[in-house]
Copies of this chain bind each other. A is one copy, B any other.
Amino acid sequence: MPALEAMSNPSPTRKYSVASGLLSGMRIVEGAAFVAGPLGGMTLAQLGADVIRFDPIGGGLDHRRWPITGDGRSLYWAGLNKGKRSVVLDLKSEEGRELATSLITAPGPDAGIFLTNYPVGAWLDYDHLAELRGDLIMCHILGNNDGSTAVDYTVNAAVGFPEITGPDDFGGVMNSVVPTWDLVTGMTAATGILAADRFRQRTGEGRLMRLSLSDVAVAVLGHLGQIAEVQVNDDDRGRYGNYLYGAFGRDFVTADDRRVMVVAITPRQFKGLIAAAGLQSQLEVVEKNLGFKLRSDGDLFNARETIAGILEPWFASQSLAEVATAFAAHRVLWGPYQTVRQMLENDPRATAANAMLEVIEQPGIGQYLMPGSPLDTGQDRLPPRPAPLLGEHTDEVLSEILDLSPGEIGRLHDRKVVAGAEPV
């Protein structure tokens, strides 16, 4: 069991003794760049799978993606490849491609799983790979489902959200700063791989799964009711600024110039909010004018501006600390707005007090707080592990998985078909 042996003899950058994780023993080969593919692989690595990433020598298109350190190391690449092993190969050479192909199709009931978002020409074609391993599981992430190129930002433009983001008097389109479609696609890939693995265990059959960013985004639009909103209700969702659609929610400014997000979806939450602010009598006036009691989430949405109007002066008279105290007593659903720095400095959800987080040394970059899997599986939960150095595991993987001798590996280095770790 070479892969398990490697996990029990961690490389010098992984010093702790760890549980082995729910997916211990599973091996995935990843040839992927940017967010979705690498996130899918990392999700499985953080649950204990042995994820071997291959890259061209010198790194792929995402190896220097921003944010970067002063000397050009990518914090993004390090963030999306935690806990994987890294192999670098000359993917333009026949020999380098054959090595990648051999890794992808290597035997073993827990191996033979390939995750990629590369354009799959002849050498990465599923039918070609399946000649070498008939039960191969391959998840191929695409931009659009016809194989044409798209990225999170172009997909997001297509599905309507930038048209409804921002204040109602804002005329243009507003892009998102969160690559939601990449994130959901990466997680869908992880789910798909585990589903196909379960299927293979029962039937012996492999599968090619094609998964596109645009299908993920269109599916979510359907899931949230936004396709039916047009096709059934003949309605176009408006632009509601910071108001929560379909219930009551908005940001407010406190006396000490902080902002808080307040949400009331259920009648209990709304009652608690009004009680915490001591605004029962003002609410009674509002309801008298309306001629009905504000009960449902739809009522709250329709009356949102009136409700916000009675709440605003209260927030303006309270400090953030006073708001927190009043809201705790009435179980109000709320939270402060924070910058990333404020969160890291003040919020226990984002410090090492949180069992998911640990300060780790990332070789070549330094020490900082890294997350493990958000799935808290108790005794099996793995601590976060840093990303590999690019090429850190080339020799180890060629020896373990492909059974190459030191002499053979040496000759591959000499001919520049493979390379070792980038300098720290």
Contact = CB atoms under 8 A, between A and B. Distances in A.
Contact of A335 (B154, B183, B237, B340): B154
B374 A211 contact: yes
Contacts of A75: 225, 228-229, 232-233
Interface string A305-330: 00000000000000000000000000
A347 B217 CA distance: 13
A351 to B, nearest CB: 10
A263 interface: yes
B354 A145 contact: yes
Interface string A372-388: 11111110100000000
A338 interface: yes
A233 B69 contact: yes
A80 B220 CA distance: 9
A115 to B, nearest CB: 13
Interface string A352-391: 0011110000100110111111111110100000000000
Contacts of A207: 22, 377-378, 380
Interface centre among A23, A231, A244, A370 (most CB of B within 10 A): A231
A65 B247 CA distance: 8
Interface in A207-245: 207-212, 214-216, 218-233, 235-237, 241-242, 244-245
B157 A337 contact: yes
Nearest to A223: B79
A420 interface: no
A336 interface: yes
B242 A336 contact: no
A178 interface: yes
A160 interface: yes
Given A22-B195, A191-B187, A231-B344, A172 B251 contact: yes
Contact of A65 (B209, B246, B337, B357): B246
A176 interface: yes
Interface stretch (A96-104, A161-169, A274-282): A161-169
Interface string A180-205: 10011101101110111111010000
A165 to B, nearest CB: 5
Contacts of A157: 251, 259-261, 335-338
Contacts of A221: 340, 350
A interface majority secondary structure: mixed
A251 B74 CA distance: 26
B192 A67 contact: no
Contacts of A87: none
A283 interface: no
A66 B197 contact: no
A340 B229 contact: yes
Interface string A46-82: 0100000000000001001111111000111011101
Contacts of A350: 159, 218, 221, 227
Interface string A247-261: 101010000000111
Q: 6 shortest A-B CB distances, which residue pairs?
A: A66-B246, A75-B225, A187-B187, A154-B335, A194-B194, A219-B371
Interface of A: 22-23, 26, 35, 39, 42-44, 47, 61, 64-70, 74-76, 78-80, 82, 144-145, 149-151, 153-166, 172-180, 183-185, 187-188, 190-192, 194-199, 201, 207-212, 214-216, 218-233, 235-237, 241-242, 244-247, 249, 251, 259-261, 263, 265-266, 296-298, 301, 331, 333-344, 347, 349-350, 354-357, 362, 365-366, 368-378, 380
13 contacts: A26-B198, A65-B297, A74-B225, A157-B251, A158-B336, A163-B337, A174-B242, A175-B242, A192-B377, A215-B371, A218-B343, A219-B373, A222-B369
Given A23-B199, A65-B297, 17 more contacts: A22-B207, A67-B246, A155-B335, A157-B338, A158-B347, A163-B339, A164-B177, A178-B220, A180-B180, A192-B377, A194-B194, A208-B377, A214-B349, A215-B371, A218-B354, A219-B356, A226-B340
